[in-house]
Structure 1
Amino acid sequence: MALPEVEIGQFYMGSRLLNPLTYLIGLPIDQVNFLACQFIALGIGIYFREHMSPKKASFTQRHLVELCVGVCLTLFCFGYQILHVFAEAAIAYVIMLYAPRENFHAIVFVFSMLYLSIVHIYRQIYDYGGYTLDITGPLMILTQKTTSIAFALHDGTQKSDDQLNPDQKKQKIVEIPSPLAYSSYVFSFHNIMCGPLVFYSDYIHFIEGTDGSYDPPNQGQNHSKLPPSPNDAVKRKLISALINGIITVTSPIFYPVSYLTDDEFLYKSSWLYKNYYVLVCITLVRAKYYLAWELGEAVNNAAGLGFKGWNKDGTANWDLIRNIQIYQLEVSNSLKVNIDSWNIQTLIWLRRIVYDRVPKYSTLAVFMCSAFWHGFYPGYYFTFCGAALATVAARLMRRNVRPLFQGSGQSKHFYDAVTFTFTRFTNVYVTFPFCILIFDETIRVLGSLYFYMHILCIGVYVYFTFIQPPKKQKSEKKE
């Protein structure tokens, strides 16, 4: 007798080979396949690092392993939807080859975002509000890769060094990657499932073994120039992934997101209880992202990707593609630090592709690009527009109010306590629509909270912009 399969969206296109496990562990097949692919990549990554290092295998061999294993894992997890990865990557590559040199990077950006958007829209049509894992996840990472390559290539071939900032000089590409190197980068087996994003120049340094050329702090004693073992970093991140996995599985039992739209919550709970529930519920929801990113980083580190150099105390730093700073995010008393600690590689991508190149309205442009990249659920736009508004208000508060509380230790502690509290509530207030997704339900929850954070942020903006604008100083510390 066949074991019943855990319920899942009927449009999942990946392999059903592991269906029996869905019954045994209580996870749907899409999540079982994802975890299986990540642990397979972890094992292959360890072998790849130890037996196919740049000293033991040619660059071509390393590229081929990255490509072939990555294609197999993608095919297993997403089935024929892998064709979307081939299509977007191939067309973007052709554009980089043959489009006009002065604006090929912009064409790649428009094409890649448009292709991703079409897939997002199609996904919303056939699985509206669903959470089934499909090819949109890898396509989001791919879009970051194609656009970052295009802009780095444009910087390296169409601009002089005096037109580039230091980061652009470091990331620039002076010639188009070979088809093999490009395909290897696209399908990198330890990076294809959920990233985190690695930029092309860093990836090539990893393939060629030049990512270990950082001078160690005590060279000639107990360090060499070769990348050290990532085992400690891998263990630490796997433990973090395990803890967050347990939280992810157990927290919905006590604090389900679905309760946010329940009539009992909306109409019978007090305003204070609603804020308490949103705070705890959305804080716990973050664990599933911590799980995916910590596991993703561990897999990349196990393969040898992620060495950033040496810390001042002589320890190895394996945070080159660090995507989350959990402690900083959870205890920060600054909204800027809070935002900067989340999805870090995407923030770097947005800075390099949008913020540094759109000087006017750069903050709004970044948030809107991020929203389009995520998809078209209304909840995303509530989140990113709310985050943009809160960011502007937080800057004004910091600039105008913080100096008033720097006179004594007590006043500083009071200011820190207040900003810590507001950062916690602002974070969950602007991000819960990201979990609800749907317009009507988001409006109902916001209405039950009386739109209080929107009103506060707008009030801060109006007051410090029109009623009591700050006096401009000759020099002002950049926020």
Structure 2
Amino acid sequence: MVRSGDFYAGSRLLSPLTEVIGLPIDQVNFVVCQLVALVLAFPFRLVLSPSTTSLTVRHVVQVTVGMALTFFCFGYQIYHLIILSFVCYLLMKYGSRDWMHKAVFVYNMLYLSATHIWRQIYDYGGYTLDITGPLMIMTQKMTSMAFALHDGIYKDNSRLSDDQKSQAIRKMPSFLTFYSYVFYFHGIMCGPLCFFSDFISFMEGRNFSEAKIPFTENGTTNNTLTTNNEDTCKKTTLTTKHYGIEKATLKTLLTAGICGILMIFVAPHLCPPEGLVSPSWYEMNFVQKMGYLLICLMLAKQKYYFAWKLGEAVNNAAGLGFQGFDKDGKPKWDLVNNVDIWGVEFCNSLKLNLDAWNKTTLIWLRRVVYDRVPKFKVYAVFACSATWHGFYPGYYLTFATGMLLTFAARLIRRKIRPLFQVTASLAYFYDCITFTFVRLANPWMCAPFLMLELMPAIQLYNSLYWYLHIMAMVALVVLPFYHPPKPKTEEKKTQ
């Protein structure tokens, strides 16, 4: 494995806590800043609510607290966020309608790439927290905002999709509003990403005030509605109980706490990543290696689960995350939900597995890449995602492997799945097979991402005979020539 660097630009004020907690100073500062943001989120929502406080005051609080937390956690590196966002503001405000959005995208990706490369120079292989994390979120914010602004100001509304219409920004925001979005304190540390139109709806209180809960004619919650329109929704005086703020925040905090315990007390001792390249690895048989790899990657994901769920909880406490009610009248708190842990760990489809991981980033990639490029959409998404993450060879091996397995899984579903849909037993058997495949494919794809370097990842795949790569390539070569028989119902129609 590569060595870890010790570079850190943030405050050292809490250094005495490192010996007590057992975490390095960068992680201590991160957790403390998130806890401070969590504590401040409640009075921001309750005392400085949109119904009692002017929008200007709420924006000023967001900028002030957000910049203070950022400076405490990342020190002088905060200037990266200021420079990046300021240039983007100028491009969006004064740039040409023909290239403004494209210039913002290119500028952000180049700036982020430069910081990734510089990070690899001064802290090669290290996991010390630095400004590249917030810069990755900032890149998502600025690029999505630029495209939404271009859609709202320069494009004909009839040419926009429904999603683009909902996200379109109809006028250039003020400098204060812009920097409130850049530095809002409950999302500056690690997100998850919130798009500008959703953020403004939250700041103005429209995410709550415009929410409608489905009711029946007698005034009780409708548990059978399948639509959510003006005829089936009635305005009522909604309380925090209806919104479920406390429940959503507590549930997410509890999930983050469990993931944090696994991250600190279990992951370093049970199947650590270092074991993937240790001499003992080569003494294991194939089944033992796959078991070790499965447990190792499952535990390695806990740090992402912890950070994302803690960030989601902080946002929920401030009131950001609510986006209406479902057809049963239950509040939906999934606006800034960045990971569906159950979906990642227990789904039976590779597509569902990928969709459940880093969800807001997938939405960003769809809105700024997939929906914008004329062709080679999937390749463009994978290329952008890999560049956005950085330049360790392991990242690119992970995304290349993911693309290969995704194409193979699509082909298998189209060609093989119909054969198992004849009876319920066969369909269940097919689901069991795909469930097992996803459990094997997930750590197989993600191992190079964890190892960072190319040769250790190659050695890992060598020790496992590249079996999933080979199976995927065989499927891609052979299955195009196989045509499954038509169902009997279709045969009768054609006769």
Same fold (TM over 0.5): yes
Q: Secondary structure at the match of 1:253?
A: coil
CA deviation vs aligned residue, 1:292-318 (integer Å, no higher than 9, x gap): 111100000001111111123322211
For these two proteins, the number of residue pairs brought into alignment is: 466
Within 1, Cα distance between the matches of 2:424 and 2:378?
33
Within 2, Cα distance between the matches of 1:221 and 1:469?
52
The AA in structure 1 aligned to 2:360 is Q
Conserved 8 A contact 2:416-2:484 = no
1:468 aligns to 2:473 (yes or no): no
Name the structure 1 match of 2:379: 364
1:257 aligns to 2:273 (yes or no): yes
Within 2, Cα distance between the matches of 1:224 and 1:15?
46
Residue 28 of structure 1 is aligned with which of 14, 20, 24? 24
Within 2, Cα distance between the matches of 1:225 and 1:238?
24
Measured after TM superposition, the shift of residue 440 of structure 1 is 1.2
1:303 aligns to 2:318 (yes or no): yes
1:453 aligns to 2:450 (yes or no): no
Measured after TM superposition, the shift of residue 439 of structure 1 is 1.0
Residue 224 of structure 1 is aligned with which of 237, 244, 268? 237
Q: Structure 1 residues 353-362 or 199-208, which shifts more?
A: 353-362
Q: Secondary structure at the match of 1:137?
A: helix
Within 1, Cα distance between the matches of 2:213 and 2:466?
52
Within 2, Cα distance between the matches of 1:167 and 1:446?
41
Measured after TM superposition, the shift of residue 218 of structure 1 is 3.0
Within 1, Cα distance between the matches of 2:433 and 2:149?
46
The AA in structure 2 aligned to 1:80 is Y
Name the structure 2 match of 1:325: 340
Write out aligned runs for 1:371-390 (5 A): 371-390=386-405
Measured after TM superposition, the shift of residue 226 of structure 1 is 6.6
Residue 164 of structure 1 is aligned with which of 160, 170, 194? 160
1:205 aligns to 2:201 (yes or no): yes
Measured after TM superposition, the shift of residue 471 of structure 1 is 9.7
Conserved 8 A contact 1:324-1:343 = yes
Name the structure 1 match of 2:12: 16
Equivalent pairs: percent with the same residue? 52
Conserved 8 A contact 1:197-1:346 = yes
The AA in structure 1 aligned to 2:269 is I
Conserved 8 A contact 1:463-1:469 = no
Conserved 8 A contact 1:216-1:224 = no
Change (3 A) 1:472 1:121: farther
Measured after TM superposition, the shift of residue 472 of structure 1 is 12
CA deviation vs aligned residue, 1:91-135 (integer Å, no higher than 9, x gap): 111111222211210110000010000000000001111000100
Within 1, Cα distance between the matches of 2:86 and 2:46?
32
Name the structure 2 match of 1:38: 34
The AA in structure 2 aligned to 1:214 is A
Measured after TM superposition, the shift of residue 330 of structure 1 is 1.2
Measured after TM superposition, the shift of residue 190 of structure 1 is 0.2
Change (3 A) 1:69 1:255: same
Measured after TM superposition, the shift of residue 177 of structure 1 is 1.2
Q: Structure 1 residues 97-106 or 291-300, which shifts more?
A: 97-106
- The gaps in structure 1 that reach 5 residues or longer are 1-6
Measured after TM superposition, the shift of residue 264 of structure 1 is 2.2
1:89 aligns to 2:103 (yes or no): no
Name the structure 1 match of 2:190: 194
CA deviation vs aligned residue, 1:20-41 (integer Å, no higher than 9, x gap): 1000010000000000000000
Relative to the length of structure 2, the TM-score reads: 0.91
Within 2, Cα distance between the matches of 1:461 and 1:256?
34
1:276 aligns to 2:288 (yes or no): no
Conserved 8 A contact 2:5-2:125 = no
Within 2, Cα distance between the matches of 1:197 and 1:470?
43
Conserved 8 A contact 1:12-1:133 = yes
Q: Secondary structure at the match of 2:127?
A: coil
The AA in structure 2 aligned to 1:224 is T
The AA in structure 1 aligned to 2:482 is Q
Name the structure 1 match of 2:124: 128
- CA RMSD of the aligned region, Å? 1.9
Name the structure 2 match of 1:348: 363
Conserved 8 A contact 1:22-1:28 = yes
Q: Secondary structure at the match of 2:96?
A: coil
Name the structure 2 match of 1:4: none
The AA in structure 1 aligned to 2:337 is R
The AA in structure 2 aligned to 1:195 is G
Measured after TM superposition, the shift of residue 410 of structure 1 is 1.3
Q: Secondary structure at the match of 1:317?
A: coil
Conserved 8 A contact 1:257-1:281 = yes
- The gaps in structure 2 that reach 5 residues or longer are 222-235, 491-495
Q: Secondary structure at the match of 1:310?
A: coil
Conserved 8 A contact 1:8-1:29 = no
Conserved 8 A contact 2:259-2:305 = yes
The AA in structure 1 aligned to 2:178 is Y
Relative to the length of structure 1, the TM-score reads: 0.94
Q: Structure 1 residues 443-452 or 63-72, which shifts more?
A: 443-452
Conserved 8 A contact 1:52-1:62 = yes
Measured after TM superposition, the shift of residue 256 of structure 1 is 0.3
The AA in structure 1 aligned to 2:278 is D
Within 2, Cα distance between the matches of 1:71 and 1:37?
11
1:411 aligns to 2:418 (yes or no): no
Residue 118 of structure 1 is aligned with which of 114, 120, 134? 114
1:215 aligns to 2:212 (yes or no): yes
Within 2, Cα distance between the matches of 1:301 and 1:163?
34
